[in-house]
Chains A and B, each alone.
Chain A
Amino acid sequence: MSSPAVLEETPAAASERTRAPVFGHPESLRQVITHYCPGCTHGVIHRLIAEVLDELGVRERTVGVSPVGCAVLAYNYFNTDMHEASHGRAPAVATGIKRGRPDLVVFTYQGDGDLASIGLSEILHCANRGEKVTVIFVNNAIYGMTGGQMAPTTMPGQVTTTSPLGRDVSLAGHPLRIAELVSALRTPAFIARGAVHTPLHVVEARRLVRRAFQYQVEGCCFSLVELLSTCPTNWGIPPHEACAWVEKNMVPYYPLGVFKTPDGGDRAPRPLGRE
């Protein structure tokens, strides 16, 4: 049922109302078509970062570092100065930018092969030095760009092109829990894990991304947000099933929450929304 107020609206006011933007394109995201597969959640995460950069008003002094992996072309999507790093080295590149130009806001955008495998040394030491940069770590439990090989974060039993019988933890070890691993370092930092497989999780993830950048803008500390993401293409399931797969298989192994805040030292993870 329509409300009387709307019925009494003048044509001019109605036109004004319909023109008023309620959902715009973030300035920090370029208006281009991305190369990501249908159903992939990289686009959602890009948008969250861009919205936060806009909100904090730091786009014009932000430099991003894209990885090697699915997000290798992220430098085409963010509307900021960008570096494209070699595989796994984004935290070292970010260190170089930030130490050379401490006035810049520097972030890396890395996948699980990039950060948790070939770049594990760089991420741990970057966090341990307390570099004042922000790391967005996208964990989709697989190598996407190269065609679905086993990642350090691939789930036990998960079938990939290089674990055709499922990940055998007796041979390949257990999936690396990066947020927990980085939280174990003594250096103060903001470390959290979120997900983007439901609207509610996207809203929570946005808060985490915002807090991570906020800490950097305040000159406080290193910050890392791990985001559980989907890869329908290489998981071989439709997007909606991929979202359900994250909830069923990944969230129980990769608990969501804030693992570390710069003031709090080492703490047990707290469930989202109950901090």
Chain B
Amino acid sequence: MARKLMKGTEAIAEAAIRAGCRLFFGYPITPQNEIPEYLSHRLPQVGGTYVQAESEVAASNMLYGASGAGVRVLTSSSSPGISLMQEAVSYMAGAELPVVIVNIMRAGPGLGGILPSQADYLQATKGGGHGDYRVPVLGPWSVQEAANLTMEAFDIADRYRTPVMVLGDGLIGQMMEPVELPDERPPAPDLPPKTWASTGWKGDRPRAVINSLYLDADTLEAHNRHLQQKYRQIRERERRFQMRFEEGDYDLLVVAYGTVARVALSAIEELREQGRRVALFRPISLYPYPYRELAAAAEKARAVLVLELSAGQMLEDVRLALGRSRPVHFHGRTGGHLISPEEAANRMVEVLEGRSQEVADV
């Protein structure tokens, strides 16, 4: 397929179809409505099914049913809707169901506003619902990467039997960029067959029971150990990150993800032209977080600056990665405000010139 100018939301929707997803359940919420709108006309064209659910609660439980029946399935929503889905996400993590969830984040808390935000980071990466579970979370910084990660998310979900979240901010959803998509993106050839799915029991395999209930403490603990083992594997194999200007020396390492990393890169490029030695570390997988890679990258730097569209959520993972080895500085915006390249550059200069206060211990 040739390069095409697409909105982030539409690129994500089309990418899901190319990855073999033929089912979507969702509920309208701004700023991600183009995903359900696009799929409501595209899915029937490819023999798929679009269902507008009565609520996010219902939509996420429809995912539970469809995924349990062995079918690739997608939903998308934005922050308040994602909160409503957390019940089903916990059940799907417990029942080990592969689904892909797109969260185009808006500013909170509560109804908040409809402008871009990264304030769902902790909810997304630390579980989100009740119980001990984690969900792989991917944070794209461009429309092309949003499409690529959406396709990849289906494979990660199927490989580990887990919900996977594509976490974008309102900007990723709304901006338009050239995108190139494969005509078809078949599932990875080494994915395990879904012999666990409820497809009608003919006695040729164990009876399928899609379930997260274990009333016996020993059995439930064994199930939790199994889940934790799976998360260990995910942490080992699925860390994704990108660095810029890692060659040579740098005094400051900027850490940002999603569109904020794009803004940071613009600022860094400008500062480097002025001779400032600044590098960028961009986590792509937010769970699993590339702790070790970040720690290694920070070794060259005198200080670290975290930029986020939140009051400081990924900041906690950066501090977990670095401990007290480097002073960590923070700059965040909330309410739907973006960080401008000038604002980012000013903060970088402040840190470089010792005019910034490092983040204090809580």
Give min CB distance, A32 to chain B, whole Å: 12
Q: Is the CB of A89 within 8 A of B88?
A: yes
- Select from chain A the residue with minimum beta-carbon distance to B65: A96
A92 touches B62 (CB 8 A): yes
Distance, CA A83 to CA B213, complexed state (A): 11
**Are B55 and A63 within 8 A (Cβ)?**
no
What are the residues of chain A within 8 A of B199 when measuring CB–CB? Answer: 63, 81, 101, 104
**Chain A at the B interface: SS class:** helix
Chain B residues with Cβ under 8 A from A59's Cβ? 201
**A63 CA to B69 CA, complexed, in Å:** 9
Q: Which chain A positions have C-beta within 8 A of B213?
A: 72-73, 84
**Interface 1/0s, chain A 70-108, versus B by CB < 8 A?**
001101000111111110010011111111110110000
Which residues from A are CB-within-8-Å of B211? 75, 82-84
Bits for B207-244, please: 1 = Cβ < 8 Å to A, else 0.
11111110000000000000000000000000000000
- By a CB distance below 8 angstroms, the chain B residues around A99 are 23, 25, 49, 51, 62, 66
Q: How far is the CA of A56 from the CA of B65 in the complex (A)?
A: 23
**Complexed CA–CA distance, A85 and B212 (Å):** 9
Q: Which of A221-254 contact B (CB under 8 A)?
A: none
* Least Cβ–Cβ distance between A195 and chain B, in angstroms: 29
Is the pair B62, A93 in contact by a Cβ cutoff of 8 Å? yes
Complex Cα gap A62–B199 (Å):
8
Question: Distance in Å from the Cβ of A268 to the closest Cβ of chain B?
Answer: 28
User: By the criterion CB–CB under 8 Å, are A92 and B53 in contact?
Assistant: yes
Given contacts A75-B211, A95-B65, contact A122 B200 (CB under 8 A): no
B279 CB within 8 Å of chain A:
no
Are B25 and A96 in contact, CB atoms less than 8 angstroms apart? yes
Q: Which of B31-88 contact A (CB under 8 A)?
A: 49, 51, 53-55, 57-59, 61-71, 73, 87-88
Q: Is B133 an interface residue (CB 8 A)?
A: no
Most buried by B among A60, A84, A122: A84
Q: Point out the residue from B54, B198, B202 that lies within 8 Å of A97, measured CB to CB.
A: B198
Whether the pair A97, B58 counts as a contact (CB closer than 8 A) is: no
Q: Which residue on chain B has the smallest CB distance to residue A61?
A: B200
Known contacts A81-B200, A82-B210; decide if A101 and B71 are in contact (CB<8 Å): yes
Least CB distance, B128 to chain A, in whole angstroms = 15
Q: Does A208 reach chain B (CB closer than 8 Å)? A: no
Q: Determine the chain A residues whose CB is within 8 A of the CB of B67 once the complex forms.
A: 96, 100
Please determine whether B58 and A125 come into contact, CB atoms closer than 8 angstroms: yes
Q: Does residue A65 face the partner (Cβ distance < 8 Å to B)? A: yes
Contact present for B209 and A125 (CB under 8 Å): no
Task: Collect the chain B residues with CB atoms within 8 Å of residue A34's CB.
Answer: none
When chains A and B are docked, how far (Å) is the Cα of A65 from the Cα of B201?
14
Residue total for A at the interface (Cβ-Cβ under 8 A):
35
Residue in B69, B71, B87 whose CB lies within 8 Å of A86 = B87
* Alpha-carbon separation in the docked complex, A75 to B201 (Å): 13
Which chain B positions have C-beta within 8 A of A83?
64-65, 68, 198, 209-211
Shortest Cβ gap from A120 to chain B (Å) = 11
A96 near B64: Cβ-Cβ < 8 Å: yes
Most A CB within 10 A of own CB, among B49, B91, B198, B199: B198
Given A75-B211, A81-B207, A96-B69, A86-B91 contact (CB < 8 Å): yes
Question: What A residues does B49 contact at CB under 8 A?
Answer: 99-100
Query: Which B residues lie within 8 Å of A89 (CB)?
Result: 57-58, 61, 64, 88
Q: How far is the CA of A59 from the CA of B212 in the complex (A)?
A: 23
Residue of chain B at shortest CB distance from A59: B201
Q: CA of A74 to CA of B224 in the docked complex: distance in angstroms? A: 23
List A residues at the B interface (Cβ < 8 Å): 59-63, 65, 72-73, 75, 79-86, 89, 92-101, 103-104, 121-122, 124-125, 129
Question: In the complex, given contacts A82-B210, A96-B66, what are 20 additional A-B residue pairs having Cβ atoms less than 8 angstroms apart?
Answer: A73-B213, A75-B211, A79-B201, A82-B209, A83-B210, A85-B64, A86-B64, A86-B88, A86-B91, A89-B88, A92-B58, A92-B62, A95-B65, A96-B25, A99-B49, A100-B23, A100-B70, A104-B69, A122-B58, A125-B54
